[in-house]
Structure formats: C-alpha cells, structure tokens
Amino acid sequence: MSEKIKAGLEIHQQLDSHKLFCDCPSVLRNDEPDFEVSRKLHAVAGEAGAVDIAVKYEAEKDREFIYQGYDTTCLIELDEAPPYLINQEALEIGLHVALLLNCEIIPITQIMRKTVIDGSNTSGFQRTVLIARNGQIETSFGKVRIENISLEEDAARIVGEKNGKKIFRLDRLGIPLIEIGTAPDIKSAEEAKQVALHIGDVLRSCRVKRGIGTIRQDVNVSIEGHPRVEIKGFQDVKMFVPVIEKEIKRQKKNIQSKKDLKSEVRNALPNGETEFLRPVPGASRMYPETDLPLLKISRKIVDEAKKTLPELRTEIRKKLKKKGLNEEQIKILLKHDKLFEFENLLKIINEPKFIYQILVEIPKEVIRHEGKGEISADIIEGIAEAVLKNRINRADVKHVMTEIVRGKSFEDAIKIKKIDLGEIEAEISKIVKEKPGLSIGAYMGLIMSKFKGKVSGSEANAILRKLIK
C-alpha cells in the first residue's frame, strides 16, 4: 500500500471551558427543554458577493428549524443578543495547543462569520477566529506543516425531526472548539494516522473535553488526477488507515472509468466505506463579524500562556517511568488528573513510590474500607509534611487517613500517641515468648495488628530481629 497520495487533516476538538462568546456553561442536556422556538433561514451572499455552492445546496431545501433551549442557554445562542468578548480561558487553551504545535501566534486577528445554513446555527453563521499558523510536527515519514489553528463556536446539535422540521438543541451551540488544519503534506494513510495521534496527544495534554463526540477528525485526500475529497466523521484513529485506503481505491476507479470527477464531502462509515454528504464549501462563505472588535493577542497574553504551558503526555509518561512508576500507576495518575498533586507532593518528599501510595493507594483503601469519605489534596499534603517532620511514621499514614475519614480533624488525627520504644520492645518480647518458633513474617503480622499503626514496620522489624537473635 505505497500509493502516493496527498492528504491533510482537519481536527475539531471541544475545549473544557464555558462558551466562546457568552458565559453559559458548556454542558449537554438530556432532560426536557425549557422552551422551543421555530426559525427559517435563507442563504446570504458572502463577502465576495457570491452565494456559496454548499450554502445554496442547503438553502434550496428551504427549511424551517426548531430550537430547544434551557436555563443553561441565553439570548446569545438564540441570536437575540450580541456576543460577549471572546472567552479568555478558551483563548489560553487555544494558545497552549498552538504553542505545542510550534505555531506562530497571530497578534491581531479578525473574528469572522462563516455562513452555515443547515440550521445548526440560529444566526446562519458560525463565528471563527484564526489565532495561529505556520506550525509543524514530525512523523517518521517527515515533516507535516500545521497550516492554521482557529477557535470556533460549536454548532447546535440535531436531536430529531418533527413534521419534516429538524429539531436542534442549543446546549452545544457556542461551546469553544479548536480547529487544527494541517497542510496537504501527508503522503500515506499510515502517516495520516501518526499525525492524528500526535495532535491527539497535544490536545489531551491541554484542557479539552473528553469522550465520544468531543473530537471530530476530517481528512482531505486525493490521488494524482483526482479532485480533493473531504472525508468526515472519523471516530477512531484506528479507522484512518482502512478508510483512506478504500477512498484511494474509489478514486482510482473514478479515474479509470473517466467519471465526472468532482470535489465532494463524504462521510466515513464504521465499515471503512464512505458515502456522499455534500459538495465542498467554497471560500465565499466567510465575512467579518461586525459585532466584535479585532482580537489582539498581546505579547503579555502569549507569555502568560507560555508560563502555564502543559507538558506533553508522552513526555510526562517518560518522566514518570524514569521515577520508577509502572504503566498502570502512570495511567491512573493521568486518568484521574492527579499529576499536579503528585508533582506537588514530590516537592515535599522526593520519593515517587511512597508519594503514589499516599496519593492514590492508601486513600483508596481507606475509603473502600470505611465505605465513605474523601481525603483532600490539602490533607494529603499535610500528612506528607507530618511524615517529613517525623510527627508521624510512614506506617501511620493509613491510620491517620482513617481517623480523618471518621470525622477527626487533621490536627487531632496526627496526634498519635507514640508508644515509647521500650514499651514496644516489652510487648514484642511477650509475643515471642507466648508463641515461640514462628517466622519473622508471622510475628510481624501479630505485632502490626496489635499496635495498629502506632509503630512503623521498620521499627518493629528491627526490635523483633534483635529479640530473636
């Protein structure tokens, strides 16, 4: 499969932040809507005066749409009020992605309206703003340029149809999306997959939404002599290779049969096939957003974003592995977003395995055993400090956490009555006398259960060995 192709990716990913041009939360609702409104949309001419071919295609259908709203949507989603200034948090996340993809940030940029009249935008357009360009990433096949990075509003989502009218839900409309477009530098299906994996790694390192429907990946692909075809709807990176390979075959057949070759948008199906969706939209669908000022991304904003730039997850994995954590432990830290706390605790006691225990394992054990409770990051930090200052032993951590879950304050919980070592020695010697001839392990079991965290394992072990000798 060394067919020469020309391909580029376009990736849309929802950011984990409130909406892009209003303060509504980015939450999807599955309960009954609070209200419904009905609207009819029609095609408008773009900046160049021409009605875009894709827009016309939808407009010819001349349809009415129903929109469902909630208390978590406002007049801006309904296009009844002007947009607020761009969400600064979303902008920062966008800058993180752009910097990690080695892009140049655009210092002054115009927010644009992109005509959309399939009904998924109440206004008939989607706001989009180019924030960065000219980046690049490396694959094992060579360099792939990142052409543009934009912030966009997500569209309303279609939830059904009533009397031939499409029903859209406004909850998704306006959720910040980052759009990443590569140059058509990709030369094979395998390389397309590598690029998608790399960009996916960058995205997951930043504050983005997780789960099905939060990322959309499109591929533009053509072989020599065939116009560009856009394939939408890749749910899984695994689908890249089979879908692209099948599309190459389809294009070859088109050329051989001297078909009327046209540029089109196709949908990726789960079986690796594709189907026609619509014509490719032209450039005439963009015009400036007059309700908003130019977006200035100052040096200061970029410097701030550099300061808070997250590390790539692949780098973090390598680092944690070096520190002695295994794959499973690394996976759990990443999955539960515990990295920040982990790094913080390492600053107190630089022992990754012990820190992993007091951050993940012991709290989990205690909570499961008690059937309730939680142990906050502050408490865990306090416990690490208490260990460092010898206020408690390492072996006491579980006991302290248990007391806290049972309702004791942190200060009370760490006031462990330390039995003096002479007393412990006397007790241990009593145990040895009562049950002679047991193994060290068996004695340790008896001792630890008797003192329940009031003595550390290493202390008890030292005393025991001395006595047995």
Measured from the Cβ of residue 340, the count of other Cβ atoms closer than 10 Å reads 11
Q: At a CB cut-off of 8 Å and minimum separation 6, what does 197 contact? A: 237
The Cα 289–Cα 2 span in angstroms is 45
If one asks whether residue 86 binds Zn ion (CB under 5 A), the answer comes out as: no
Q: At a CB cut-off of 8 Å and minimum separation 6, what does 275 contact? A: 266, 267, 269
Q: At a CB cut-off of 8 Å and minimum separation 6, what does 76 contact? A: 19, 21, 22, 24, 82, 83, 84, 174
Counts of helices then strands in the chain (DSSP H, E): 16, 17
Q: Which is nearer to Zn ion, 22 or 199 (CB)?
A: 22
Size of residue set near Zn ion by CB under 5 A: 5
The two three-digit tokens of residue 102, written as one number? 């080695």
The Cα 305–Cα 392 span in angstroms is 40
Which H helix or E strand runs over 193? helix 189-205
Stretch that binds Zn ion, among 24-32, 221-229, 246-254, 267-275 (CB under 5 A): 24-32
Q: Which is nearer to Zn ion, 68 or 139 (CB)?
A: 68
If one asks whether residue 170 binds Zn ion (CB under 5 A), the answer comes out as: no
**Residue 424 to residues 178, 386, 430, Cα–Cα distance (Å):** 62, 22, 10
Please select the residue that binds Zn ion; options are 22, 100, 167, 292, rule is CB under 5 A.
Answer: 22
If one asks whether residue 20 binds Zn ion (CB under 5 A), the answer comes out as: no
Q: How far is the CB of 67 from Zn ion (least distance, A)?
A: 13
Q: At a CB cut-off of 8 Å and minimum separation 6, what does 317 contact? A: 330, 334
Q: Which is nearer to Zn ion, 23 or 104 (CB)?
A: 23
Q: Which is nearer to Zn ion, 76 or 103 (CB)?
A: 76
Please select the residue that binds Zn ion; options are 24, 59, 97, 424, rule is CB under 5 A.
Answer: 24
Q: Which is nearer to Zn ion, 77 or 92 (CB)?
A: 77
Contact 244, 220 (CB under 8 A): no
The SS3 of residue 92 is helix
Measured from the Cβ of residue 265, the count of other Cβ atoms closer than 10 Å reads 18
Backbone angles phi, psi at 233, to 5 degrees: 85, 30
Q: At a CB cut-off of 8 Å and minimum separation 6, what does 241 contact? A: 189, 190, 192, 193
Q: How far is the CB of 19 from Zn ion (least distance, A)?
A: 6
Q: How far is the CB of 286 from Zn ion (least distance, A)?
A: 23
Stretch that binds Zn ion, among 17-25, 155-163, 213-221, 453-461 (CB under 5 A): 17-25
DSSP 155-170: PPEEEEEETTEEEEET
Q: Which is nearer to Zn ion, 74 or 132 (CB)?
A: 74
Q: How far is the CB of 289 from Zn ion (least distance, A)?
A: 16
Supply the angle between the helices 362-370 and 397-405 in degrees, to the nearest 10.
40
Q: How far is the CB of 20 from Zn ion (least distance, A)?
A: 10
Q: Which is nearer to Zn ion, 84 or 141 (CB)?
A: 84
Q: How far is the CB of 54 from Zn ion (least distance, A)?
A: 27
Stretch that binds Zn ion, among 21-29, 40-48, 292-300, 398-406 (CB under 5 A): 21-29
Q: How far is the CB of 36 from Zn ion (least distance, A)?
A: 17
Q: Which is nearer to Zn ion, 22 or 392 (CB)?
A: 22
Q: How far is the CB of 77 from Zn ion (least distance, A)?
A: 5
The Cα 142–Cα 188 span in angstroms is 11
Q: Which is nearer to Zn ion, 27 or 48 (CB)?
A: 27
Q: Which is nearer to Zn ion, 77 or 185 (CB)?
A: 77
Contact 87, 135 (CB under 8 A): no
Residues 48-77 that bind Zn ion (CB under 5 A): 74, 76-77
Contact 140, 194 (CB under 8 A): yes
Q: How far is the CB of 165 from Zn ion (least distance, A)?
A: 23
Q: How far is the CB of 68 from Zn ion (least distance, A)?
A: 14
Q: How far is the CB of 157 from Zn ion (least distance, A)?
A: 15
Residue (of 174, 43, 52) closest to 121 by Cα position: 174
Stretch that binds Zn ion, among 20-28, 259-267, 422-430, 445-453 (CB under 5 A): 20-28
Please give the residue ranges that form the binding site for Zn ion (CB under 5 A): 22, 24, 74, 76-77
